[in-house]
Each structure stands twice: as C-alpha cells, then as structure tokens.
Amino acid sequence: MIILGIESSTQQVGAAIGGHEGVLSAAHTSRGRRHAELLTPTIDFVRRSARIELHEISCVAVDLGPGLFTGLRVGIAAAKAMAHALRVPMIGVPSLDLLAFPVRHTSRLIVAAIDAKRGEVFYAFYRQVPGGVQRVSAHQLGSPDDLASELLATPDEVLMVGDGALRYHDAFDGLKRVELADQGFAHPSASSLVQLAHARALREQFVAAWELAPLYLRKPDAEINWTTRDEQGRAE
Amino acid sequence: MTAHPREATVVLGIETSCDETAAAVVSGAQTVLSSVVSSQIELHARFGGVVPEIASRAHVDLLTPVIAQALVEAGLPDGGVEAVAATVGPGLIGSLLVGVSAAKALALVWDVPFVGVNHLEAHLYAGFLEDPSLELPVVVLLVSGGHTLLIHMEDHGRYRLLGQTIDDAAGEAFDKVARYLGLGYPGGPAIDRVAMDGDPEAIRFPRAMQDESYDFSFSGLKTAVVNHVRRHPEVGTADVAASFQEAVVDVLVTKAQRAAQAVGAKGMVLGGGVAANSVLRERFLDACTADGMHAFVPSRAMCTDNAAMVAAAGWWRLRSDGPTPLDAGGDPNLRLPVVT
C-alpha cells in the first residue's frame, strides 16, 4: 500500500510518499506562496526520491483544509486529477488534524490554529489517544480573542500549534498554562498526512475523487453579503 | 516526450478561466472527439455577475467529473491522451489555478507533455477548429465579457494588435445595459432576445471613435442609454435594447471590415462570447460577403468558453514552442503575444 500525500492549505506546499514502512520521502516549501508552480515538481521529486513509480500508488491523500482558499484548491484539484488518472481512491484529512498529530506525545490539551486572514483563525481542540490524537471540538472560525477567551475558561495545560497561534501570539502570550509551539510546528505536514491516511486506508475509509470536498468553513463574501441583504429585506 | 505533435496527436484541453468548467479531447487541432462544458451561470445569476470565489469552488467540484465525461465521450476512458493543454491566463486567478493544477497532475501521471494556453489565443483557434481551410492572414474580431480586440493574425502564433477597447469590453457593456434595463444576467443573450421585438432604428445612439483608430469605447454608449431612458421613460425596452445592440454591432463590424481591407486580409474571423449575438453574426457575415472575403463565424458553442479551442491552440503551441515546464503557474493578466 503506497500512499501519496498532498498538502497545500497554508503558505506551505508539500508532498510525501509512504506506506507500511512509514514515510519514504517528503518535501515542503513555505516561501513565496507558489503552490500551483511547485506542487507537480514536488510530487515528482518525492516519488523519484523514494524510487516509486506513479502506478504503484494505491491511494491519494489530501489536506482538506480549512486554510487559504487558493492554495487549498491547488492541492485538491491536483489530488483529484491524480486519483482519477491513476484510478485509485482518496482519503481527505483536515489540516488542523495534521497540525495536531506531530505533537500527539503530549498529555496537554492541543489547540491547532491556522491563520484565516482578516484577523481570524481556524481552530480546533485535540486530545492524545493511543497512536494519535482525537478532535474534541468542532472546526471553528473566530478571532484570536474568541479563542483566548475559550482558553481562559479551560482548566487544562494547553499546547498551541500552527501559524494562526504564532501570528496572533499577542492574544495568547499572557495566558497562564498556555505554551506556543515554535515555527517547526507551524504548518500541516505531508508526512503526517501519509501516516494518518495509512491508518485509515487499512480500515478502507476511502472516498472517490468526485465525493471529496474541501473544508472551507467560510462562505464566499458575496453569499455572506447576500444573506445579510436577504435578512435585512425581510426585516424591513 | 515529443516537442513536435503528429498531425493526429490527441490533446486533452482544460478550461477554467472564468465561469465555465470545460474539458475536451481534440485530435490534431481539427477533429473534436468530445467537448464538455459545465456552465455556472445559474450559480452567479443572482449576483448579476461572476463571483470569483464561487466560481473557483465550483471548478473544484465540477472539474474531475467534466474531465471524466470528456474522456469517456472521446472513447478514451483508459488513456490515449498524448498531451494535456490548459488555459493559464488571462482570467480569474483562483479559477485558472484549478485547471492548471489538474492539467499538470494529469500530464505527470500519463507522462505526456503539458501545454499552457493563452485564453485569447484559444478563442482565435476556435475559428480554425471548425474551418481548417481558413487561409491566413486573417483579421480576428474577438469580443467577450472581458475583451474587445481587433487582431491581425499574420501566421500561426504571429499576431498584431490593431485595436482594443479603451474602457468597457463589449460584453461588459451588454451586461451593464441589461442590468440597467432590468433584463437580468447574463446580459448578452437577454438583450439579443428582447431586441428581436424592437426597432434598431428607434434611437440613434452615438457610435464612439467611428472615424479614428481601430480602438473601441463603450462606456459613453452605456451612459447614453441610461440618459435616454431617464429622459424618455415612455420608450419601450425592446426599442432601447435593439438600438443599443445596433450601435455596438455597427462599431464592431465597421472597424473590423475597415481593418481587414487595410491589411489585405484573406478572411475575417469572429470569436469570443459576444460572437454568439445573432445580429453581430449576421452583420459580420454580410460585411464579408460584400467585400468578397472569406468569413468565419464559429458555432455559438465554439464562440463561448470551451476547452476544444484550448486543445486546438495547445496543439499549435506544442508544435511551435514544445511542452510547458511543470513548474508553470497561472497569469491573470496574460496578454496575447503580439509582434510590434
């Protein structure tokens, strides 16, 4: 079982390839927001480095978001096309799960936060479970201050990961019992994606390319404005 | 990988530059084996125009099924595609990147060349796709919601820009006037329909820049329509629509005809979404007949955004430039490569 993993939901873009032997090759680039340019060469690089032929791939895993829309779509569009052309199934994993997974060895409450721009973060809470992490909240979108208030209310020791935590560290710096993980944990990793997808592949938790949908967590502005207008229209 | 396509090289074309998700399989830039277009018009209609984020989301959902359908209809569900061409610009960047990313991934898996295609050049090739006997040089009038260009196509890949709009594109003018007249979106087909019951001579709207260059201007015309309706609310919408359409078509055809005569073109080609307008098509053909010039007006399906024209233009670009590197991205402001 060889799995190709593609992640592109933050300013980083990456790919990894692996299977039951673990991750065989991985590469990430976080500079320049050049997802569309870099993704295909990165995929080709990791599979050549691991000496894997593309037809040996039996599943394409992809980061579903939430994250930066354009980058996210580059990864998902490429992953769907590859899965279709290779005639293999897909596995989608949320970006916040990918952020939490590398810090699974802590017993603290894990908070994964991705910069959602416009002064907001996408975030979710996680707990350590045997072999990984389990999400213990919904995926949420809110201001760093909203998140800080939630953290104030929790009695737990907290470890925060993700570029959303780092970008808005001012909101969290003053909180007792809260530690921010460094830059090394700022972006979802394609290696984590391959590891998590492998566990799901063993349980055959696949989806078809046309069924896989991104997690946006935010409506297009036009729809938000339209809804507001509708509501105002009804109120008048 | 071959830089020189055979006559019958099979190209998969992908088009996602605006609000149509399209894929097509074309053999040798001539034989359309399949052409699938999934329009998002209904998703954008209530906003009165294309919303980029909604368009990008729809492309992600629709593209894989559209590609699958194009391959099945072409009789190639298990491969046989020899190159993958995708529109890399101009257009909405978020939308473009969906198609470009999928196309490069397919090229990688199938181990065939990827070709980045200029959307404007693709529109030029829509004409050749349906009429391979078309002789060069030709003058192409390319009119869409985003562009109004008059191009002298001297040879394949060799273009001179004769004129373009200095403000609104022709299609944009149709959309704006239709919205003002309450005719809905998209404006082109709406005005075309309503104008059939109107008198095109009812109101003499101004023809901008009629005697000067080959450039166009439509923003004054739009203002003239608004002012006329304010001053004469009694005039029927059909007459206003017909007279407006008449003014646009008059300017477009007159300038294209004058340009074709001036450069000694052997033919005239009409392209772009506005080329679906029935009066423009008729008048364009009349002008060519009057001048004894070979006219080419592609079918309506080939005028509006589609991927067959992308595959055809990709075939020609593969022949002239070879494959596009896989580290290519999209360019929302890509221009037609013109010689000066």
Model confidence pLDDT, tens digit, residues A194-204: 999 999 999 99
Show residues of chain B in contact with A222, CB under 8 Å. Answer: 47, 51, 53-54
Contact criterion met (CB < 8 Å) for B101 and A39: yes
Q: Tens of pLDDT along A177-187?
A: 999 999 999 99
Which of A62, A69, A70 is best to mutate for the B interface (most B CBs within 10 A)? A70
Domain B10-125+303-321 -> CATH class: alpha beta
Distance CA B98, CA A39 (A): 12
Distance CA B49, CA B179 (A): 10
Do residues A60 and A92 touch, judged by C-beta distance below 8 A? no
From residue B207, alpha-carbon distances to B140, B212, B282 in Å are 21, 11, 19
Show residues of chain B in contact with A92, CB under 8 Å. Answer: none
Enumerate chain B positions whose Cβ falls within 8 A of a Cβ in A. Answer: 46-47, 51, 53-54, 56-57, 59-61, 63-65, 67-68, 93-94, 97-110, 326-330
Contact criterion met (CB < 8 Å) for A73 and B101: yes
pLDDT of residue B79: 80
Locate B150 and state its tokens.
């008059």
User: Which residues of chain A register pLDDT less than 50?
Assistant: 233-236
pLDDT of residue B49: 85
Q: What is the CATH T-level fold of the domain A2-94+188-222, as seen in this structure?
A: Nucleotidyltransferase; domain 5 (3.30.420)
From residue B49, alpha-carbon distances to A66, B226, B254, B272, B335 in Å are 27, 19, 29, 17, 23
pLDDT of residue A194: 98
CATH number listed for the domain at residues B135-298: 3.30.420.40
Alpha helices in B116-201 (DSSP H): 119-130, 170-180, 187-195
Contact criterion met (CB < 8 Å) for B101 and A40: yes
How far off is chain A from B102, nearest CA to CA, in Å?
4
pLDDT of residue B185: 86
Considering chain A, tell me which residue range(s) the CATH 3.30.420.40 domain(s) occupy. Answer: 2-94+188-222, 96-185
User: Which residues of chain B register pLDDT less than 50?
Assistant: 1-3
**Which of B263, B3, B253, B269 is CA-nearest to residue B120?**
B269
Considering chain B, tell me which residue range(s) the CATH 3.30.420.40 domain(s) occupy. Answer: 10-125+303-321, 135-298
Distance CA A64, CA A70 (A): 12
Which of A73, A87, A216, A218 is best to mutate for the B interface (most B CBs within 10 A)? A73
Locate A88 and state its tokens.
């293999």
Superfamily of domain A96-185: ATPase, nucleotide binding domain (3.30.420.40)
Closest CB to B56 among A35, A73, A75? A73
pLDDT of residue A33: 86
Contact criterion met (CB < 8 Å) for A43 and B108: yes
